[in-house]
Amino acid sequence: VDCLNRLFRFDEAQNLIYEYEKSNKPSFFMNTSLLSGARNNRNRNLSEMIYRRMKFLFPDEKQDLVSGVVLLSNMYASVGEHELAKSFRYNQIKELRTKVKVGFTWTEVKGQLAEFAVHDRSHPKSSQIFAELDRLTSELIANGYKCDAS
């Protein structure tokens, strides 16, 4: 599914999922992959359809559905629908009666594993890290980079 998404072959990705589900239980991960691809392509109709399908197929997977909420909300934001993104995310998280888990990333620096959370400032060198990110961002923008925060 992911490979087909990367080629923007969404109909084939959907058909692959439908064929798979003829003899297997629906796969949350396959559907999430398709939603991610639709979000990356800013395909609003497909993104909304997949999210509705996921809610129908996996109503008890509340925490997992949060990832779908985040993907669809990010798709709305990426097409300039910031108020819709905000209200959709708020209302869906409230409806699911769950919380968004903090996102983490890991990287290795000089043989040491470093873990970062979203908006984390606990690292001893966080001020230098964020200053360098700001410097790099400014340099990129000065050279014509257009930020896509989706």
- Looking at the structure, tell me whether residues 15 and 74 fall in a common domain: yes
Percent of the chain whose pLDDT exceeds 70:
98
> Is the residue at 85 inside a domain?
yes
Q: What are phi and psi of 10, to 5 degrees?
A: -70, -35
* pLDDT at 134 exceeding the cut of 80: yes
- Looking at the structure, tell me whether residues 92 and 20 fall in a common domain: yes
CB-based burial, 41-74: b 16+ in 10 Å, e otherwise: eebbebbbebbebbbeebeeeeeebbbbbbbbbb
> Is the residue at 55 inside a domain?
yes
- Looking at the structure, tell me whether residues 18 and 89 fall in a common domain: yes
Q: What is the pLDDT of residues 113-124, one digit of tens each?
A: 888 887 788 888
- Looking at the structure, tell me whether residues 48 and 86 fall in a common domain: yes
Domain count, the chain: 2
**Domain end marker among 80, 96, 112:** 96
- Looking at the structure, tell me whether residues 41 and 82 fall in a common domain: yes
- Looking at the structure, tell me whether residues 41 and 10 fall in a common domain: yes
- Looking at the structure, tell me whether residues 82 and 23 fall in a common domain: yes
Q: What is the pLDDT of residues 59-85, one digit of tens each?
A: 999 989 999 999 999 999 989 999 999
Mean per-residue pLDDT over the chain, rounded: 92
- The pLDDT score that the predictor gives to residue 39 is 95
For the whole prediction, is pTM greater than 0.75?
A: no
Q: What is the pLDDT of residues 33-53, one digit of tens each?
A: 999 999 999 999 999 999 999
- Looking at the structure, tell me whether residues 70 and 88 fall in a common domain: yes
> Is the residue at 149 inside a domain?
no
> Is the residue at 148 inside a domain?
no
* pLDDT at 125 exceeding the cut of 90: no
Q: What is the DSSP string of 54-111?
A: HHHH-TT-HHHHHHHHHHHHHHHHHTT-HHHHHHHHHHHHHHHT--PPPPEEEEEETT
For residue 136, what are the domain limits?
Answer: 104-142
